Amino acid sequence: MDYLLQIIGPLLEGTAVTLKVFFITLVLALPLGLMLAMVRVSRYRIASGVVNGYIWLMRGTPLLLQLLFIYFGLVHMPGGITLAAFPAAIIAFTLNYAAYFAEIFRGGIQSIDRGQYEAAKVLGLSYGQTMRRIVMPQVVKRILPPVSNEIITLVKDTALIYVLAMNDLLRVARGISNRDFTTFPYLGAAVIYLAMILVLTIIFQRMEKRYAVYDE
Amino acid sequence: MPSTMNDAPMIVARDIHKRFGTLEVLKGISLEVKKGDVIAIIGPSGSGKSTLLRCLNHLETIDRGRIEIEGETLVSTDADDVCRYAPDATVQRICRKMGMVFQLFNLFPHLTVMQNLIEAPITVKGMNREMVLPKAEALLRKVGLFEKRDSYPSRLSGGQKQRVAIARALAMEPDIMLFDEPTSALDPELIGEVLRTIRQLAEEHMTMLVVTHEMAFAREVSTQTIFMDEGEIVEARSPAELFANPQHQRTRAFLEHML
């Protein structure tokens, strides 16, 4: 018990780092993903193709590699820049997750029946109004399950920032474990991860319930 | 019938051509719709009836010809055979004079019946809720669905959905109503209630174009019946004449097959 009290402080500090990366990534990647999806479904062929290539790149290489490249690799590019660990992590996670979100949004948008667009159009709604008022509310209901999945994965993916020597929850746990020759800190980390994901799961279930008021 | 200051026909279509790829679905359609006309468009599947309707309100674009709505040009074709639409804002404004009812209803599933009705008046016309609600309630009473105002569309029968769709279109106060096979997706026992609603509109002298497979309805309600086949208007006459004494072999064959 004393030992637990001793390590809980550092573990919670690690949790704070994990949550910070998680929230900032989420807040940036969701809208970026939505924008990418809108371009992807637009009639602008070239822009849509560029986004398609971008998504391939982001899904086609390991997130770990992207993280390392943005932190260590950008320096060697022409006009190279050096980034601190934290912004490098945020950029890598945002770019990567936006690609996955974009594909989920695209699937959701394309699953909406053409008749919805036509009904909106004959009622005089503009394309923007149709997307905002008619299409996106229905898309949200359909994509909630895959988006929840992705967001839950993000919580755990943040552990990758250890390669940038950032002290997230898992790295802190490993440090203590190595120092004290015990696996107990890993157990503590696991409980904290589970708690975070339980909270997210409850939030998503509530949201799904709210959208369950109508069937399609 | 209310008299109008403006004597321009509600719809004038001249020599409309429309192709999908190599398939020519409309081969030079012309028609004129006057205020209070109820035009029934009949004909075999694939004859271009629905496409014609969809061209009138810009759900499809035409390749050649001219369309005027209440004297305003939606699209025209110049001497060099170049087909030009009015600017987007004008097209939107002109098309707002027409309401449309679809075969598959296309109600918004995430909105209640009442929300379906007031969405466009609020979003498009910028009306406030307090102004729209009484009108929407009156429309729901008119189609006999006031008690369903807070239901979601998935809770309604097909016939109820279509009556909501009609009320939703009317909520935008269109001058013309376009019906694209409004009863084709309905179980036989639900067709009557929708046709009654449309008939009621006809009695109020709403200008309407109705694409339909309901021959009895076309015969009783329309002021003019158009028979289309293979992208052409074969006959356009009063229903009494067209049904009793079709002039063309194709019309006769179709009617014999349908009746």
Measured from the Cβ of residue B79, the count of other Cβ atoms closer than 10 Å reads 5
Q: Which residues does chain B have with pLDDT short of 50?
A: 1-5
pTM given for the model: 0.89
Asked if A120 and A130 touch (Cβ cutoff 8 Å), the reply is yes
Residue A41 lies in a domain: yes
Closest CA to A122 of B142, B72, B246, B94: B94
What per-residue confidence (pLDDT) applies to A78?
A: 77
A125 touches chain B (CB under 8 A): yes
pLDDT at A214 over 80: yes
Residue A139 lies in a domain: yes
Among B95, B123, B168, B177, which would you mutate to test the A interface (most chain A Cβ atoms within 10 Å of its Cβ)?
A: B123
pLDDT band at A213 (very low <50, low <70, confident <90, very high): confident
Minimal CA separation from A113 to chain B, in Å: 9
Across the interface, do B124 and A124 touch by the CB < 8 Å criterion? yes
pLDDT at A141 over 60: yes
Residue A157 lies in a domain: yes
Across the interface, do B123 and A129 touch by the CB < 8 Å criterion? yes
B109 touches chain A (CB under 8 A): yes
Neighbouring residues of B205: CB distance < 8 A, sequence distance ≥ 6: B1, B2, B35, B36
Residue A127 lies in a domain: yes
pLDDT band at A34 (very low <50, low <70, confident <90, very high): very high
pLDDT band at A75 (very low <50, low <70, confident <90, very high): confident
pLDDT at A8 over 60: yes
Residues of chain B contacting A126 with CB distance shorter than 8 Å: 92
Residues of chain A contacting B95 with CB distance shorter than 8 Å: 121-122, 124
CATH code: domain of residue A199 = 1.10.3720.10
Task: Please state, for a pLDDT cut of 90, what percent of chain A lies above it.
Answer: 87
Residue A216 lies in a domain: no
Backbone angles phi, psi at A129, to 5 degrees: -65, -40
Measured from the Cβ of residue B259, the count of other Cβ atoms closer than 10 Å reads 9
Token look-up 């468009």 returns: B41
pLDDT at A1 over 80: no
Domain that holds residue A103: 2-211
Tokens of B191: 């067709």
The full length of chain A comes to: 216
Residue A62 lies in a domain: yes
What per-residue confidence (pLDDT) applies to B6?
A: 57
B119 touches chain A (CB under 8 A): yes
Q: What is the dihedral of CA B53, B59, B62, B68, to 10 degrees?
A: 60
Once rounded to an integer, what is the mean pLDDT over residues A43-54?
95
pLDDT at A88 over 60: yes
Across the interface, do B110 and A129 touch by the CB < 8 Å criterion? no
B100 touches chain A (CB under 8 A): yes
Among B50, B90, B104, B108, which would you mutate to test the A interface (most chain A Cβ atoms within 10 Å of its Cβ)?
A: B108
B18: β partners:
B26
A112 touches chain B (CB under 8 A): no
Asked if B167 and B144 touch (Cβ cutoff 8 Å), the reply is no
Residues of chain B contacting A112 with CB distance shorter than 8 Å: none
What per-residue confidence (pLDDT) applies to B3?
A: 46
What per-residue confidence (pLDDT) applies to A6?
A: 87
Q: Which residue has the higher pLDDT, B1 or A72?
A: A72
What per-residue confidence (pLDDT) applies to B236?
A: 95
pLDDT band at A53 (very low <50, low <70, confident <90, very high): very high
pLDDT band at A80 (very low <50, low <70, confident <90, very high): confident
The count of structural domains within chain A is 1
ipTM score for this prediction:
0.93
